[in-house]
Amino acid sequence: MSDYVAPLKEMRFVVERLCGLEAFAAIPEFADTTSDLVEAVLSEAARLANEVIAPLNRLGDTHGVRLEGDVAHTAPGWREAYRAFVDGGWNGLSCDPEFGGQGLPKLVATAVSEMWNSANLSFALGPMLTQGAVDAIENHAADELKARYLPNMISGEWTGTMNLTEPQAGSDLSAVRTRAVPEGDHFRITGQKIFITYGEHDLTANIIHLVLARLPDAPAGTRGISLFVVPKFLLKDDGTPGERNDVRCVSLEHKLGIHGSPTAVMSFGEKGGAIGYLVGEPNRGLEYMFTMMNAARHGVGVEGMALGERAYQRAVKFARERVQGKPVGYAGKAGAIIEHPDVRRMLMTMRAYNEAMRVLTYACGMAFDLGAKHPDAVVRDAARRRGDLLTPIVKGWCTETGNLVTSLGVQVHGGMGFIEETGAAQHFRDARITTIYEGTTGIQAADLVGRKTLRDGGHAARELLAEMRADVTGLAANAEPRVAQIAASLEAGIAAIERVLRWLLSAQSEDPRLPLAASAQYLELWGVVAGGWLLARGAAIAADELAAGSADPTFFEGKLATAHYYALQILPQARALEPMITAGAAATYSLEADAL
């Protein structure tokens, strides 16, 4: 029996009302993405997530993955669930129809991805990495490689991996030592990679590794890295898996969480060199890999949000059932803990953060769609800037917030939350990796400050702030008093970002360390305010629906009340973050390194 139920009504509200399906009318590839289609896709995905994938979450955590020889065996039920996933066509939901994908918008795929990750993060990691590998091959590989590998990867018959990290090189990819020596129409790859998610498993007939390596004459540093396709099994002339390549899993990592997913140490070339095929041009591998990495960064942000949703559902259920003490103002002798003020505070905080994260991740997916497909170049370029700006915020803020929400989930359970059998602890443990995956929060914050703010003089940031300010004007005029309060809180948050932005642009010339010292708080500031902005839009819709006599007043009252809570309890953090950035950044260097 699953304890997860996909929040379909909430998902459809965000997809259809907040993000707006009408924007797809101008995009021929997405013109058929109607409300009826969205309902059908989400409902069917929910059935698989609720009934098949979610019940395996606890089993994957307790059973783990077993390595026998160089084959990683997943937990019981995993293979059958993955088969159902593939047979349903879910792996290729947003992929190119030319290679067998369904070509649906990233917006819809984001909502579906939320369900997989809420149901079972360890299970969902494989398809997420495969999607990233598909993106890299589709955007940068030669047509021959696309034809040979994409159809089976898009269908899910084969999975894909990302092989970046080495024992001596964590986030510093300039230190990569794996080598690629040319040999005819291919290369011989030798080296070792660590932390490779689904680097080895028993779910598919082949695993397609994307590997960063250096050519013999490559320049030093990141400019000398190339990208290679290295299959577990080499392909025969008919395209089916044949001879085993010289690549194997030498061990599995022992981890804090996500025990159901294999995280492998991979060895390439122990018997003379694994055969690999160059993707694109030599020495441009890092550039190509960022195609995969940026998709994965958005995907990991979705993971943080999805785990928050799962933790919230579990916490609410427990709080309704757990009877303990007499709550203040409660008429009976004892009541469920959901009646206690501090438990109510924690649950409202979890709910508000989850709704803010959801709309932020979906809006980023929508920006990807418009940036890739809209026929108007002006709209396309603006959407790309928006997606680029939001990606580090989604990845950094949603994962940090996901850690906070899953921690609150443990706290709601009290002592029972610290006991593994209740399940709350697993969500907390699983969430911890998300702030590290695909670049730590510090790396996302540095990207947001450097590449996404200072490099363009704050242009993309100001575009978004102008849109927020335009919305505040309309919100302030709303007849519902709570919407006006939301508008006032949002306006204060926008003003805080505007002042911080001016400080960043001047501080970089004063001391280039200062913007980076403040970058984590800058990222948090953006997350808090952008999440509040999008919730405010939802609150205005909800207020109008209630005023018009909506047939579903409970749902819309919930939207309005949650946004109001966020505006009063979470958005004010923006005013505290501002002086931490503008006045406090220099304090980071109050002590010399050897005095710490």
Q: Which residues are designated catalytic?
A: 438
Reduced DSSP (H G I as helix, E B as strand, rest coil) percent helix, strand, coil of the chain, to 5? 65, 10, 25
Q: DSSP assignment of 301-370, as one string?
A: HHHHHHHHHHHHHHHHHHHHH-B-S--TT-SSSS-BGGGSHHHHHHHHHHHHHHHHHHHHHHHHHHHHHH
How far apart CA 44 and CA 174 sit, in angstroms, is: 44
Backbone angles phi, psi at 43, to 5 degrees: -65, -40
Residue 514, CA distances (Å) to 165, 257, 529, 589 in order: 29, 35, 22, 9
Q: How far apart are CA 429 and CA 316, in angstroms?
A: 19
Helix axis angle, 441-449 relative to 377-413, nearest 10°? 150
- Rounded to 5 degrees, φ, ψ at 137 are -65, -45
Query: What is the amino acid identity at position 198?
Result: Y
Positive or negative, the CA dihedral 16, 17, 21, 25 is positive
Cα–Cα dist 299/438, whole Å = 10
Which stretches within 374-440 are classed as H helix?
377-413, 424-431
- Tokens for 190, please give them: 């030798």
Are 338 and 319 a contacting pair, CB within 8 Å? yes
**Tokens 């400080």 sit on residue:** 503
Of 579, 228, 484, 519, the closest CA to residue 397 belongs to: 519
DSSP state of 164: -
Determine how many CB atoms are found less than 10 A away from the CB of residue 43: 12
Q: How many CA atoms lie within 13 A of 500 on its CB side?
A: 33
Contacts of 129 (CB under 8 A, 6+ apart): 159, 160, 161, 162, 197, 198, 296
Q: How far apart are CA 244 and CA 263, in angstroms?
A: 21
Tokens 């409660």 — which residue? Answer: 330
| Structure-block tokens of residue 26 | 């101008």
β pairing state of 206-213 and 158-163: parallel
Type of residue numbered 289: M
- Backbone CA torsion sign across 275, 281, 284, 289: negative
